[in-house]
Amino acid sequence: MPESLLERSFPRWRLPILLSVLVLILLVPFLLVRQWTEYSRGADAWVAHTLRVEAEAQRLQATIREGEALAIALGAGSGGPYLRERLDLTLGALEPSLERLVDLTRDNPNQQRLVGRMQVVIARRIEIMRELEGGVAPADYAALVDEMYGRYQVRDLFLQFAQTEQALMAERADYAEVQRLRVRWVSLLALGGQLVLAGIMVWLLQRSERRQTSSEIELRRASARALAVLQTVREPIVLLDGQLRVLMHNTAFSELYADGEDERHERLEDVGDGAWADPVIRQRLSDVLVRDRELWDFEHAQVTMDGQTRTMLVNARRMQLPDRDDDVVLVTVSDISAQKAAQQRIADLNRQLEGKVEQVSEVNRELEAFSYSVSHDLRAPLRHVAGFADKLSRHLGEGVDEKARHYLGVIGNSARRMSSLIDDLLVYSRLGRSALKLQPVDMQSLAEETRAVLDANLAADAADLDQPSHRVEWRLAPLPVVIADENMMRQLWLNLLGNAVKYSAQRERAVIEVEYEPAADGGHHFRVRDNGVGFDMEYAGSLFGVFQRLHKASEYPGTGIGLASVRRVLSRHGGRIWAEAEPDRGATFHFVLPSGQDSVTPQGTTNA
C-alpha cells in the first residue's frame, strides 16, 4: 500500500501502533510455530531413538538366545564344526551390539544402570557358553545350565529395559502430540488474526477511500462555491503573474474593462483599452512580487470602457496558488468616484458652513452687544420712567383724578415689568455663555432650598395683601447627587417649582410633587408634577420657547423666559425636558440629566 494512502487512512500516531500489531500478528505466530515445530521434530527424533534402542535391545537379546542354544547343543556333545563356527560368530556379535546399546542409552541414566547390569550378566553368560563349547562333564553341564538360566538370566533385565523404554517412548510421543496440537492451534489462531487484520485493513481502506471520495466531492463543491462567490462579488478582482499577464478575473472585472471579451493571458496594459497603461501603477504592481510590497488604497484615475473617467482604489498583495510554483498578484479594484464626488461636495458644504458659522458668530456677537446694551443702556431710562412716574404721582397728590392715577400706575407697572423682562433676558443670555463648573450637586438640598424660598415669597405676598398664605403641599422624593453646575441647577429648580406654584395658585390646596428614578440609559430622570391649570398638549411644542406663553399675563404674571432657561440649562448639560398635561388637571414636567459620575440616591420619602 502506498505511503500516502497509509497516511491518509490513519493518523500519524496510529500508524506505528498498526504496524506494531501487524508485526506481532505475523512474527510471533511464526516464531512460536517454528519453536514448537522444532519441539515436535525433537519429540519425533526421541521416539525414533527409543525405537532404535528397543530394536538394538531385541537384537542383543536374540543374539544371546542364539548363543545360548548353540552353547547348550555343543555342551550336550551333539555339535560339530559348523555349530562352533556359528557360536564364535554369535559371541563375537554380542560385544559390538552391547556397545551400541550403551551409546544409545547415554542420555538416560536409568537405562545406563540397566545396561551396566546387563554387561555383567552377559559377560558371565559368555564365559558359561565358552565352557559349554569346550565340553564338560554331565554334572558340570547341568550346573552351568542352571547358573546360566538362574543366577545370570537376562530376561528380566531386558523386560525391565523394554518397559522403561516403552514408558519413555509413550511420554515422548505424548509430548510430540501436544507440540503438534499447539502448532496446529497457534497456526489456526495466527490465521484467524491475520484474517481479522486483513478485514480491518480492508475496512479501513474502504473507509479511507470513501472519505477521500467525499473530500474530493466537498473540495469540488467548495471550489465551485468559491468560484460562484468570486463571480458574484461586484468588486473587480484579477490575478496577475510575474509578467503582469491576466490569469483569472471575475465578472465585475470583465464588465468594467473587457467589454465582454475573454482577456485571460492578456497583458494588463492592454486590458480595458489602455486603462492600465499608466507605468506608475504597473510598477507598483510589479513591486508587489519583486519587492514583496503590498499595495494599499492606491488611488488611480482611469478611463474605462464606457468612456467615463473614474477614480479607482487599487489594493494588491502577493499570494501562492496550489497549482503554480511561482507567486501571483491578487488585485482588487474599487470605484470610489461617487465617494470622491461626495467628499468634494462635503468640502464645498463645509466651506459654506464655515461661512454660515461666521455669520452666526457675528449674529451672536451682535446679540451679546444687544444684551449688553439692554443691561446697561436701557436700565437707566427705565429707572427714570419708573422714578419720575412715582414722583409725579406723589407731586400731584390727592388732586389727581382716577384716569391720571390709572395712567401713572400703568406706566410704573410696565417699567417694572420691562425691568424684570430685561433681568430674565440677561439670565437667559448668561446661561448660554457662561462656562460650566461641573461638581457634585445635591439635588435634594437644592429642591429643599427652592421650596423654602417659594414658601417665604408666598408668606410675604400674603402679608402685603393682608390675606391668608396660599397653602402648598410639597411631596419631595429622595433626590440624588449629580455632576452639574450648581448655579444652573438652582436656576432650574427655581423656574420649575416656581411655575408649579404659580399655575396651582387657584387651587384651594396646591399639591406639588418631585419624583426621581434612574433612567434606562444610566442617567437621572426627574419629574415635577402639580395639580394646577395645566395646558393643551397641542401647544406643548412652543412651551419652551422664549416669550412663549399659554396663559394671559393678567391671569398669571411672568416674562415667558423661565422654561426657555430650563431647556438651555439642560441642553448645556446634555439633558432634555418635556411636559405632559391636560387642561385643568395639572401638568408634569420631565427632565433627564446624563450620568457624569456615580450618584448617591437616599431612601425614603419626604412630605411637607
pLDDT digits (tens, 9 = 90+) for 351-387: 888 888 787 767 666 666 666 666 666 666 767 677 7
Which of 170, 196, 222 corresponds to the end of one domain? 196
- Do 50 and 180 sit in the same domain of this protein? yes
Helix and strand tally (H, E) in the chain? 14, 13
Closest C-alpha to 253, from 241, 301, 244, 268: 268
Is 185 found in the same domain as 89? Answer: yes
52 & 167 share domain: yes
DSSP 8-state code for residue 245: B
Same domain, yes or no: 249 and 178: no
Give Dmax over CA atoms of the chain in angstroms.
Answer: 218
Give the total residue count for the chain.
608
Comparing 22-26, 123-127, 239-243, which segment has the lowest mean pLDDT?
A: 22-26
Task: Count CB-CB contacts under 10 A for residue 538.
Answer: 7
pLDDT at 529: 92
* 374, 428 contact by CB (below 8 A): no
Q: Is the pLDDT of residue 5 over 50?
A: no
Three cell numbers, residue 237: 478582482
**Lowest model confidence (mean pLDDT) among 131-135, 216-220, 245-249, 457-461:** 131-135
Supply the pLDDT for residue 309: 82
Number of domains in the chain: 4
Dist CA 129 CA 145 (whole Å): 9
The answer, yes or no, to whether residue 444 has pLDDT greater than 90, is: yes
The pTM of the full predicted model, rounded to 2 decimals, is 0.40
Task: Kindly tell me if the per-residue pLDDT of 448 is higher than 90.
Answer: yes
Dihedral-angle region of residue 244 (phi above 0 means left; psi in -120 to 50 means alpha; beta otherwise): left
Among 435-439, 485-489, 599-603, the least confident range: 599-603
| Sign of the four-CA dihedral 578, 584, 585, 586 | positive
> Of 278, 303, 335, which residue sits at a domain end?
335
Task: Look at residue 403 and tell me if it is in a domain.
Answer: no
Give the whole-angstrom CA distance, residue 179 versus residue 201: 32
H/E element, 399: none
Beta strand 606-607 pairing with 472-476: antiparallel
What CATH number has the domain bearing residue 275? 3.30.450.20
Residues 6+ apart with CB under 8 A from 187: 29, 33
Q: DSSP class of residue 256? A: I
Asked if 331 contacts 312 with a C-beta cutoff of 8 angstroms, the reply is no
Section 13-32 average pLDDT:
67
542-560 tens-digit pLDDT: 676 555 555 555 455 555 6
Examine the domain organization and report whether 251 and 152 are in the same domain.
no
Q: Are residues 365 and 319 in the same domain?
A: no
* pLDDT, tens digit, 9 for 90 and up, residues 488-545: 898 899 888 988 888 887 888 889 999 999 988 888 999 999 988 887 777 666 676 5
3-state helix, strand, coil in the chain (%, to 5): 65, 15, 25
Domain residues for the domain of 598 are 435-607
Q: Is the dihedral of CA 537, 575, 437, 453 positive or negative?
A: positive
